[in-house]
Structure 1
């Protein structure tokens, strides 16, 4: 399922469109030239979903393994949470390039955590980076939980 990526310059906006195959919906990624380019940090400014698209909302995925155990290591939890997100996508028959929006929650966020976050999101999404919001929080649902990611997905 490859997508051709095209960058267009329209009225001061850089619009990246991903050409979809017959069975896929098209997401349009928008990064205005007048704003900071967020793509090196693993996200896009905006994503436009196609008219009439069905959306799926994936609940926050933490870094638990299949037994519910959590590593105390932030990087391990982030990597596992993205693996869990991929499993949730598989469960609904979707691929990472159908994710329009991520919201991530980071316990005791500081700038040292950005490298781990950026690396994981780029590994999962490549150049088709969803819109994303990072929300620093004092704690999550379970005390040892350090990271959680939720997604909005465009279904075909």
Structure 2
């Protein structure tokens, strides 16, 4: 099965960080790399946790649209929260339920001590299926 790696317009250039935003297979699977509240240069754009969740999911949507997909095509999310607690879980749950209209995909949430860059509090990756 062949695949194509790409970096959609409007998302920061991830190559200096060692990854690509999208991996599309010749079949039906599309893998979206971890999206976070990045600015145009790949730095962290906002400090607030809720704002980071919002921006990370906006970037996820942009990556999906670049592959011709929408949120509804996502079958699995991986979410990562620095210093996870129930307040942060509620913020995440609210955003996911709004985007997926109460029918969220499978999800694994990991509470972590830190993420790739200083100031990152949240990251989300996704597996989507065409069709």
TM-score normalised over the length of structure 1: 0.63
Q: In the aligned structure 2, how far is the partner of 1:86 from the partner of 1:73?
A: 20
Query: Gapped runs of 5+ residues in structure 2?
Result: 1-26
Distance 2:91 2:39 in 1: 19
Q: CA separation in 1, counterparts of 2:40 and 2:63? A: 13
Given candidates 114, 120, 123, the residue that maps to 2:95 is: 120
Would you say 1:81 and 2:33 are equivalent positions? no
State the shift of 1:124 in Å: 1.2
The structure that is strand-richer by fraction is 1
- Larger-gyration structure (1/2): 1
Summarize deviations over 1:98-140 as a string: whole Å, max 9, x none.
Answer: 1000000000101111121011111211133100010001000
Higher helix share: 2
Distance 1:147 1:113 in 2: 10
Is contact 1:61–1:84 with CA below 8 Å preserved after alignment?
Answer: yes
Aligned length: 104
Moved more, 85-94 or 119-128: 119-128
What does residue 57 of structure 1 align with? 31
List aligned pairs for 1:40-55, cutoff 5 A.
54-55=28-29
Give 2:127's aligned residue.
Answer: 152
Structure 1 residue 66 corresponds to structure 2 residue 17: no
Residues in 1 aligned to 2:112 and 2:89: alpha-carbon distance in whole angstroms: 15
| Deviant stretches of 4+, over 4 Å | none
Normalising to structure 2: TM-score of the pair? 0.75
Please tell me the root mean square deviation across aligned C-alpha atoms, in Å: 1.3
